[in-house]
Amino acid sequence: MYDSVEPDFWLRFFFLLAIVLLLLFFFNALLRKWLQVERRKFFSYNHVNEKHKKIDWILRITTIVIILLFAPIVMVTGIDNLNLFIQPGSVLFFFIIISEIVRAVMEQKYAENPNAYKVTVSQLIFLCLLFLSLYTTNFWGLV
């Protein structure tokens, strides 16, 4: 099953992961400095207000339910035979996109800093382009 993993796979995988994380970190840092938006706490999800918190939790619970509903299908048929929209990775990717769009709308309406939503939208676009680039180029030929 795992006999086809090349000997240097993990080295290339962690190298790719380091590149992606550094790109995201520097893009985030430069954009926040340029637009003068303070950095959010790391590993903390700051909600703009209570309405945003409720919407976010509805999205999270819906995502978990969708993944749990499709888990038996994934286990029985195998992930290669599934449509793109019910694969767990795709569900999580769509959750991130929807969650960040909700965050941007809430920041535009309710945030103290008028540039906060611009950072969120820019990060979302950068993240989507980065993942699209990784997906279409076979992870830049590294993995």
Alpha-helix runs per DSSP H in the chain:
9-35, 50-77, 88-110, 116-136
Quick one: pLDDT at residue 73?
A: 77
CA 40 distance to own-chain centroid: 16
Residue 78 lies in a domain: yes
Quick one: pLDDT at residue 107?
A: 94
Residue 89 lies in a domain: yes
Residue identified by tokens 């994934």 is 74
Quick one: pLDDT at residue 56?
A: 94
Tell me the C-alpha distance between 118 and 104, whole Å: 8
Alpha-helix runs per DSSP H in 7-49:
9-35
Torsion of Cα atoms, 117 then 132 then 27 then 23, to 10°: 150
Residue 137 lies in a domain: yes
Which among 28, 49, 53 has a CA at the least distance from the CA of 122? 28
Quick one: pLDDT at residue 103?
A: 94
Residue 114 lies in a domain: yes
Q: For the chain, 143 residues long, give each residue's pLDDT as a single digit of tens.
A: 456 778 888 898 899 999 999 999 999 999 999 999 988 776 667 888 999 999 999 999 999 999 898 877 777 776 666 666 677 888 898 999 999 999 999 999 998 998 999 999 999 999 999 999 998 898 888 77
Whole-number Cα distances in Å, 132 to 92, 119, 136: 15, 20, 6
Residue 2 lies in a domain: no
Quick one: pLDDT at residue 43?
A: 64
Quick one: pLDDT at residue 139?
A: 85
Residue 136 lies in a domain: yes
Residue 3 lies in a domain: no
Structural domain count, the chain: 1
Residue 1 lies in a domain: no
- Containing structural domain, residue 113: 9-141
The model's pTM is 0.82
Q: At what angle do helices 50-77 and 88-110 cross, to 10 degrees?
A: 170
